[in-house]
Structure 1
Amino acid sequence: MTQSLTFYTNPMSRGRIVRWMLEELGQPYETRILEYDTTMKSPEYLAINPMGKVPALVHGDQVVTECAAICAYLAEAFPEAELGPRPEERASYYRWLFFAAGPIDSAVTNRAVGIEVAPESTRQFGYGNFKLAMDTLAYAVSQHDFIAGDRFTAADVYVGSQVGWGLEFKSMEARPEFEAYWSRLKGREAYRRALAIDLALCEEA
């Protein structure tokens, strides 16, 4: 019997990344909507994710948190979806997945709250400074049609979400490399389905 997938999220959160990944898989899953400062901080949910944040995924008796980790886990758990890396894609797949989850996320978040890295402090920050992070991301998304090569993988769900949000909320510069990459992703049926689900949940709330 197939193990159940339970997805803990809020439609106004990074859970949208995992929703997209789940829709790409095409596997049935149960969604549990949590609210900030209430059900996300309940003892029941803290037993799943002590951070008290979403998203989280429970697959049978396995718990996975952190969007990039969930994407990678699901690609491996459901190989029939062919969203994991082939041998020749593995280096780029993991390189840019973790780059987006670490340096890019930190660079964008810090800048959003007004943290600018002084030139003499760049060695103390994993991303160096915002420009260096953006230059490197532009390089990453322009080497191939997709982040790991010439086909879509789970890494594109995560990296693509970062780029898509960056363009929408103007937390990233509208560089031609970013716009071209995002244009190849935003029309995917799974992405459009996932977005429609979360927008409908936002309206209900």
Structure 2
Amino acid sequence: MQNIAIAYHSAHGHTAHIAQQVCEGAQSVPGIQAELLRAEDLALNPNALLRYDGLILGSPTYLGGVSGPFKTFMDATGGLWKTQQLKSRLAAGFTVSSLPAGDKQSTLLSMFVFAMQHGMVWVGNPILPEQHAGVPYDEAANRLGSWSGLMAQAGHGSPADAFAPGDVKTARMFGHHFAQTLQRLGAAATLQPKDKVAA
């Protein structure tokens, strides 16, 4: 069994809703256990991340970046960075904003840099935008066309689950892809011949 943590902050429930979809997508892969972890809790106990093989980061986009509570969590991992205890684990990210663009890319980039500083391996979003194949825009997977991570859009002040069907579908596919990648890399590592020690 391989374990995935979905570490997220959600102020109004929108990012939590997408985190749940990502979690369900990951758990649909046999041999995978995924768990939702609040960034506020992880800020108090960042060592909890050491139990997981993969980490999916999730934050709303506020003013072109991660939310304050999510940044507090990232900063709290300084001890883990110093000892590189997260090195070689898989990482990915997702974000939600109220506009189609909303500068979500800069939020994903901050997550990417965070993962790189910890020596983690980043998993992007390879899902082709389905509207190019004739699927109605709101129902299309990866309708917002993000490759570095998962993007979703929820209208300002809308209910927590008020997402286009395509965004919900994309979140589940994203979680599924991350879990499959974790399994593939784990299997590849076990097949590698052991390094020979020079005499």
| Same fold per superposition (TM over 0.5) | no
Q: Going by fraction, where is helix more abundant, 1 or 2?
A: 1
TM-score range relative to shorter protein: 0.3 to 0.5
The TM-score normalised by the length of structure 2 is 0.32
Q: Going by fraction, where is strand more abundant, 1 or 2?
A: 2
